[in-house]
Amino acid sequence: MFSKSRFKVLRTLAFRLTLWYAGVSIFSSGIAFLLFYVFINTFLQNATDQELLSRDKELSSLMHLNGIEAVKRVVVLEAQAAGEKKIFVRLLYPDGTTFSSSNMSFWKNIEISRESLKKLLQDQKPVIETTAISQKHKVRILYGIIGPGILLQLGQSMENQTRFIEAFQRMFMAVMAALIVFSAWIGWFMARRATLGVEAVTKTAKYIAEGAMDERVPLNQRDDEINELAMTFNRMLDHIQTLVQNIKDISDNIAHDLRSPITRIRGLAEVTLITPGPMNEFENMAASTIEECDRLLDMINTMLVISKTEAGVVKKENDLISMDKLAEQACELFLPAAEDKDIVLAFRNEGPFQIHGDRPMIQRMIANLLDNAIKYTPSGGSVTLRTYVDSGKTGCVEVMDTGIGISQKDLDPIFERFYRCDQSRSMPGTGLGLSLAKAMVRSHGGTISVTSTPGKGSIFLIRLPLAEPLQK
C-alpha cells in the first residue's frame, strides 16, 4: 500500500515540477560556484605571479647596484625570513648549473626545467610554471635573468592557496547539500501552490461525474492562469448545464407535442374501426392521418434545421442579397393572407442595403416573422415590414404589428424551442418558428430582439452585418 502511494506521488505534476525547479536551481548554483572557483583560483595564481615578478625585479636591481655577492646574501636572508618551506632561490649559469642557493633540503626534489631555461634565453622574458611536490603541495616557479650570464630560479609554495581552495570546495559541498534540500522544499511548496487550482478543477470534475451538476470550481484572489482556467471551466460547466437543461426541456416538449397528434391519429383510427360506416369515413380518417403526419414531419424537420443551423453544419450559400428587394417580395407573398384577415400589410424601404447570405434561409426567416405577425394580429390591425441601415454599420429588418403583444415574463424565453405564450396556445403552431428565425440570424452573424406591449403589438428587429456599400 505504501509503495503504491509513493509511486502515485512520484507520478504527480507537483513532484515533476519540484524536480525541475530543484534541478534548475542546483544547476544554476553549480555554474555560479564553478565560475567563482575559477575566478578565485586565477586570482590567487596571478597574485603569486605578481609577487614572484616583483622579487625578480628587486634581485635584478640589486645585482646591477651591488653585484652578485649582495644577491647571494639577500637570497639566503629572504628564504630564512619567509620560511625555508615557503620559498627557495637558486642562482644559475645559462647551462643550468647551480652556483648558489638558499637552503634546499625541503626542495631537493625540485629540478631545473631545461625547456623553461631554453625559452627564457630565447625570449629574454621571465618564465613561470607550476610544479607539484606531492598530490596536495604545488609550487609556483619563476625563471628570470638578473644579470649578464646570471639566471634566477625562484620558487614559492602554494600551500596556503591550496588550503584555501580545499576549504572553498568543502564549503561548496556543504552549501550544495543545503541548497538541494532547500530547493526541493521550496520547489515542492511552489509546485503544490501552483497545482492547487488544478486539483480543485479535478475534484470538481469528479463531483460532476458523480452527478453533482451544481458544483463549481472555487476561485482564488490571484489574477493568474489557474484562476482563469477555473473561471473558464465554470463557464463551460454553466454552458453544459444549460445545454443539458435545454435537452431535457426539448425532450419534454417533444414528448408532449408528439403525443397529441399521435393520440388523435390513434383515436381516429380506433373510432373508425369500431364504428360501422360508409367508405367516406375511412377516407376522412386517412386524410386526417396524413394531415397529422405532415404536421409531425414538419415539426421534426424544423427541429433538425434548427439543430444543424446552431451547430454550424448547414452548408450555406454566400449570395449577395439586396434585403430591401427580398423584403418587398416577402410582403407581396403574404399580402393575400393579410387581406383575408382584413389586415393592412405595408412595406417601407427606408435604406436599401446588401448582405452576404443564404437566400432561402433569409426568406424563411422573414416569412416566419410575417406569418407570426399576421397570425396574432386581429382583424383591422396592421403589419409593417421596414428595412433601414443603422448608423452605417448594420442593416436592419423590422417587423412591427398591432397584435395581441407579448407579456414581460414571456419576452426572454420567447425564442426558446417549443415555447408558446399563454395567448398563443389556442392558435395552431409548434413554437419553433422564432427559434428557427433566431438560429438563422445568428448563423449569418446577426442578432434578433423583440420589444412588446401587451394589447398594443410587438416589434421584432433583426440586425445583420452589411456586405458592401451599394453601387450608385
Task: Please give the DSSP secondary-structure letter assigned to residue 466.
Answer: -
Q: Which residue has the cell 586565477?
A: 42
Measure CA of the first residue to CA of the last residue in the chain; give whole Å. Answer: 83
CB-based contact 63:150 (threshold 8 Å): yes
Residue 127 phi, psi (nearest 5): -115, 130
The half-sphere exposure of 233 on its side-chain side, counting CA atoms within 13 A, is 23
Whole-angstrom distance, CA of residue 409 vs CA of residue 406: 8
Q: Which long-range contacts (CB under 8 A, 24 or more apart) does 75-81 make?
A: 75/100, 75/101, 75/102, 76/102, 76/103, 78/102, 79/103
Q: Per-residue confidence of the chain (472 residues) as pLDDT tens digits?
A: 444 455 555 666 666 777 777 777 777 877 888 888 888 888 888 888 898 899 889 888 988 888 888 888 888 888 888 787 888 888 988 888 888 888 888 888 888 888 888 898 888 899 999 888 777 788 899 999 988 888 988 888 888 888 888 888 788 888 878 877 877 777 777 766 666 666 667 777 777 777 676 777 666 666 666 677 777 777 877 777 777 776 666 666 666 666 666 676 667 666 666 666 666 666 666 676 777 677 667 666 766 666 667 666 667 778 898 988 999 999 999 999 999 999 999 999 988 888 898 898 889 889 989 988 998 899 999 999 999 998 767 899 999 999 888 888 878 887 777 666 655 555 666 677 788 888 888 888 889 999 988 888 999 999 999 886 544 4
**The pLDDT value given to residue 192:** 67
Whole-angstrom distance, CA of residue 402 vs CA of residue 197: 55
Parallel, antiparallel or unpaired: strands 382-390 and 447-453:
unpaired
Same fold, 9-164 and 319-465: no
Whole-angstrom distance, CA of residue 149 vs CA of residue 365: 114
The half-sphere exposure of 356 on its side-chain side, counting CA atoms within 13 A, is 7
Whole-angstrom distance, CA of residue 430 vs CA of residue 250: 12
Whole-angstrom distance, CA of residue 371 vs CA of residue 367: 6
For the domain spanning 225-311, the CATH number is 1.10.287.130
The grid cell for 133 is 611536490
The grid cell for 365 is 426567416
How would DSSP label each residue in 301-337?
HHHHHHHHHHHT-S----EEEEHHHHHHHHHHHHHHH
Domains of the chain, residue spans: 9-164, 225-311, 319-465
Whole-angstrom distance, CA of residue 182 vs CA of residue 385: 76
User: Hey, what CATH class is 9-164 in?
Assistant: alpha beta
3-state secondary structure of 145: strand
User: Would you tell me which CATH number, out of the four given (3.30.565.10, 3.40.50.10470, 3.10.105.10, 3.40.50.720), belongs to the domain 319-465?
Assistant: 3.30.565.10
* Residues β-bridged to residue 150: 147
Parallel, antiparallel or unpaired: strands 382-390 and 344-349:
parallel
* Residues β-bridged to residue 101: 90
**The pLDDT value given to residue 430:** 66
Q: Which residue has the cell 625547456?
A: 115
The grid cell for 403 is 397584435
